[in-house]
Amino acid sequence: MFPVRAKNRTIGFIENGCFLKPVVGSKHQLREPPAWAIDAEAFEEWVKPNAREIIVTDTEAKLRYRVSVETFDQLKQEMDRGFGRQYFLTLNYWTREKYNAN
């Protein structure tokens, strides 16, 4: 497992071909449009060459969102809302599942 960093912060980890991004949904999920975002530079430099799947884990709602890196890359949109350039993908493209955090 190795950390993926953006703007001097760890934003997730690469492990076994997956980019794992733990989040608190009420703070980190885009509301308009409803989506998950990833720092654009981190995606290009670390996620795209090293992962096949993206897993966003909302630790607050106990939900896990999954999408392939290929799908994210093909359908992503770009924005900058004051946190640097980010790519985002609306929730309708993600598979959502509940999980138990023990």
Please report the pLDDT score of residue 82 as a whole number.
87
| Mean pLDDT in residue range 35-57 | 98
- Pick from 79, 59, 55, 58: which is nearest to 69 by CA? 55
Please report the pLDDT score of residue 97 as a whole number.
97
- pLDDT of 101 above 80: no
For residue 76, name the pLDDT band (cuts at 50, 70, 90). Answer: very high
Q: What is the pTM assigned to this prediction?
A: 0.94
DSSP SS3 for 76? coil
According to DSSP, the β-strands at 34-39 and 30-31 are antiparallel
- In this prediction, what percent of the chain has a pLDDT beyond 70? 98
For residue 102, name the pLDDT band (cuts at 50, 70, 90). Answer: low
Tokens read off for 82? 């004051």
- pLDDT of 28 above 80: yes
